[in-house]
Amino acid sequence: MISKSILETISDDRFCAVCDGIISDMNRLPVMGAAIGIWHEGKEFGAGFGVTNVDHPLPVTDETIFQVGSISKTFTATAVMRLVEMGKIDLDKPIRSYYPELKLKDEAVAQKVTMRHLLTHSGGWDGDYFNNFGSNDDALTKLVEKLADLPMQVPLGKIFSYNNMGFALAGKVIEIVTGKTCEEALKELVFEPLGLTKTFFFPRDILTHRFAVGHEVWENEVKVARPWAVGRGIHPVGGITCSVKELLRYARFHIGDGTVDGKRILSAASIKMLQTPALTWTNEQQVGLSWNIVNYGETATIGHGGATKGFLAQLRIVPSRNFAIAMLTNTSRGGLLNVAAVSAALKNFLGLEFPKATPITVSADKLNEIVGSYANVFERYEIRREKDELMLHDTQLIGFPTPETPLPPPTPPMKMAFYAEDKIVVLEGGMKDARGEFLRDDSGKIKWFRLGARARLRE
């Protein structure tokens, strides 16, 4: 059990209340280690809880390094915008202008896809392919070559469907136009200009600092998740490691006008473009250039989550209120803790609450219409009707971070309900409160189920 004695050292009542909730959730879930950082109107708050590693425990602090997973995509997009301003990338120029070797299942898409499509998750192909092609400089190229094997899921540029491999391709373009490895380019374009001195990709750089390892829960037993590192090819997709303190420094850049210590890094127009809605996800959620945009009434927030093997992360920024929160956890059940902590912080510091999705009663025909399986390469969602209840069965089909990695424990079925026309909310389990929707083709038939940001094709 994690002691609440740390609360006695916190003088700010708002931050203390958020930390109290984190400790309670860690003891309940369980989560081995967590770190929180909050920036609000010029003041920074930080704390760590639990341990870095159940086998070799050290206390977590707000300087402990965690994997941040897909928050890395926003770093990649930031690097792209710097290259746009240097005249090396055009957001609307076909990717083949930079990478003629690009091959996709659909040749017409291969000819037309642009960087803007990649950064808005609208390339259309199945994006959940992961593999480890070694640690050499050609790892990213080998990963991107696998795009030729991935089926199309949605039409190009029409539907937001979260696409990891789109950001791998963006990373490859960065390599081509800079003549450097993706890691070197992001270090020069983002890490160094923003003063991120302890933000890394490679284990060799991390090993001399205090860092966390991931954990998985197997039949209520917590075990260290292995392998620790993601494959090098995934670095522009989800390979960054850092602390909550570093994430808050990064967040402050995106709150600001594109300068750091008086030096211009990006124009204010580019910062705004990154945060401007491009496609709608749900009624309350949109996507900009990499950023997930969530609207709390009239207040727009930007952010991103991250999930790697045993690590869950959340970064949420409210530019108009000079606010940011970073949450990092090192256990597979940390997602619920992160969501709760971010919600509590937004409420306690800013008075913001996300509108609740209230379940509604629908006809039996409506329930029957959505029953079935929806899948991509990585995962299958099966929706079953059990009496008058909808149950979601989630089955991972291949491993992570490689297809051969043993699959995690099965996810217990989760109850769902409609809350609006063609929209559902998960009522329990690891995805509690997640919202999804059913997308129809031109004939009006349900063709996709979008949950967890991915539009999975009906089988």
pLDDT at 410: 78
DSSP line for 165-201: HHHHHHHHHHHHHHTS-HHHHHIIIIITTTT-TT-BS
Of the candidates 322, 68, 62, 73, which has an alpha carbon nearest to the alpha carbon of residue 186? 73
Three-state DSSP at 60 gives coil
> Using CA atoms, how far apart are residues 129 and 165, in angstroms rounded to an integer?
7
Are the CB atoms for 327 and 342 separated by under 8 Å?
yes
Q: What is the third-level CATH fold of 1-354?
A: Beta-lactamase (3.40.710)
Tell me the pLDDT tens digit for each residue of 174-194. 999 999 999 999 999 999 999
pLDDT at 218: 83
pLDDT at 219: 79
Its pTM surpasses 0.75: yes
Q: Which CATH class is domain 364-458?
A: mainly beta
pLDDT at 283: 66
Alpha helix (H) residue ranges in 60-181? 72-85, 107-112, 115-119, 139-145, 164-178
Strands 263-264 and 221-224, by their bridges, are: unpaired
pLDDT at 406: 87
pLDDT at 375: 95
Residue whose pair of structure tokens reads 């629908």 in the numeric block: 362
Domains of the chain, by residue range, sit at 1-354, 364-458
> Using CA atoms, how far apart are residues 448 and 458, in angstroms rounded to an integer?
6
Can you list the residues of the chain whose pLDDT is less than 70? 283
pLDDT at 409: 77
> Using CA atoms, how far apart are residues 348 and 252, in angstroms rounded to an integer?
20
